[in-house]
Amino acid sequence: MITIKKPEEIEILRQGGRILAGILNDLIKAAKPGAKTIELDQLAERLILENGGIPSFKNYKGHADDRPFPTTICAAVNTQLVHAPAGDYALKTGDILSLDLGMKYPAQGKGFFTDMTITIPIGRVSPLARKVIKVTKTSLEVGLAQIREGNYISDISRAIQNYVESEGFSVVRQLVGHGVGYEVHEDPRIPNYLDPKQPPVQLKAGMVLAIEPMVNVGHYGVKTGADGWTVETADDNLCAHFEHTVAVTKDGCEILTLP
């Protein structure tokens, strides 16, 4: 079921999103050569708790029989796309790192969920790495430009796919954006490609959406790594991921995950 958030609920989401964006900025500053992704994870958890929130990824289970996700952030490096737990990996110059972070805010009472992702270079990176980061970031902006009351999810999907493919890259099919707010994942499903099987969903003011293009340098296929969580490119090429939580308005959208 697609939910419409009330203005007072969007205000809480706005507050949480602002806090989350500030925390992500702190993680970006700490993501230097030599830093371990588990150190970034520990920093993220501490900052979330200090700011009155709860990590929404740690211990998350998509289904009752799933193993709980072990860390606060997803820290995907190079050919890893999403859902990579933080660990002992030490970042090095030339890596690209996707930091995916979610929070329930406030921790007490009825909290609301926001979600965001950025892919960043670690030190000097290759021209191809710079390009996939730039294209993925721009594809998010292109998708957001399609959001306004009366448009359709397919308008977002088409715009992202057309732009990414015009730059010679591919859009991941197996993973999509989603509604967010009351839960970590809600309806509607938001593909980053034009899916003929997707029923038409018209955008309405008050919808809160996580728009998250995931872009591969090579083929769009992905695989799950040996840990059972990390999603990687099937052909071991580079990939990138950007995400904002946004509220649909009559004239466009408001990005809720801004500092």
Burial category of 80 from C-beta neighbours within 10 Å (exposed 0-12, middle 13-18, buried 19 and up) = buried
* 254 has binding-site annotation: no
Q: Is 178 annotated as a binding residue?
A: yes
Q: Is 100 annotated as a binding residue?
A: yes
* DSSP string across 175-204: --EEE-SSSSSEEEEE-SS--TTSPP-B--
Q: Does the annotation list 241 as a binding residue?
A: no
Q: At 254, is the secondary structure helix, strand, or coil?
A: strand
83 appears as a binding residue in the annotation: yes
Q: Report yes or no: 81 and 239 within 8 Å, Cβ to Cβ.
A: yes
> Per residue in 168-201, is it b (16+ CB within 10 Å) or e — as a string?
ebbbbeebbbbbbbeebbbebebbbbbbeebeeb
Two structure tokens written together for 68:
């709980």
Binding site for a divalent metal cation, residues?
100, 115, 178, 212, 243
Residue stretches of the annotated binding site for substrate: 83, 185
Known binding positions:
83, 100, 115, 178, 185, 212, 243
